């Protein structure tokens, strides 16, 4: 915006802002923030730090695959798959579909 104001030409600015927004959206989708948070919290187990299991249970179905990777000696009674109701065809969500196939209730 400073360059556009300095040169008094800003025809390119709306396209640049739109492109930057699309790039940020694609980057956030690629990173999968909830799976990243679950992975980070679960990695703490290996270093002897306490883990907030209530926080991990509160994450969405995007994190179910990461929670399922917890080694058996550190498992807790996770309720992540209990909150995944069946979807009608018009509300299909791939993360919820994958979470249903992971049986986290078997931990209890």
Tens-level pLDDT at each residue, the chain (108 residues):
566 666 666 677 888 889 999 999 999 988 889 999 998 988 888 888 888 888 888 888 888 888 888 877 777 765 554 555 677 888 888 888 888 777 666 665
Average per-residue pLDDT for the chain: 79
Percent of the chain predicted with pLDDT > 70: 77
Domain count within the chain = 2
Tell whether 47 and 12 lie within a shared domain: no
What confidence tens digit (pLDDT) does each residue in 11-35 have?
778 888 899 999 999 999 888 899 9
Tell whether 64 and 94 lie within a shared domain: yes
Quote the DSSP letter at residue 62.
G
**Crossing angle, helix 13-31 and helix 33-45, to 10 degrees?**
40
Question: How far is 55 from 84, CA to CA, in rounded Å?
Answer: 17
Tell whether 56 and 100 lie within a shared domain: yes
- Alpha helix (H) ranges present in the chain? 2-7, 13-31, 33-45, 53-58, 64-68, 94-101
Tell whether 23 and 63 lie within a shared domain: no
Tell whether 39 and 81 lie within a shared domain: yes
Tell whether 77 and 36 lie within a shared domain: yes
Tell whether 22 and 44 lie within a shared domain: no
Tell whether 102 and 81 lie within a shared domain: yes
Tell whether 9 and 56 lie within a shared domain: no
Its domain, for residue 5, covers 1-31
pLDDT of 45 reads: 83
Tell whether 44 and 91 lie within a shared domain: yes
């Amino acid at each position: 915006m400073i360059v556009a104001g300095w040169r008094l030409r800003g025809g390119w600015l709306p396209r640049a802002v739109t492109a930057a927004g699309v790039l940020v959206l694609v980057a956030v989708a690629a990173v999968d923030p909830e799976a990243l948070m679950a992975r980070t919290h679960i990695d703490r187990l290996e270093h002897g730090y306490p883990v907030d299991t209530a926080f991990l249970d509160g994450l969405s179905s995007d994190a179910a695959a990461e929670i399922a990777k917890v080694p058996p000696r550190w498992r807790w009674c996770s309720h992540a798959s209990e909150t995944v109701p069946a979807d009608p065809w018009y509300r299909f969500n791939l993360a919820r579909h994958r979470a249903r196939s992971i049986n986290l209730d078997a931990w209890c």
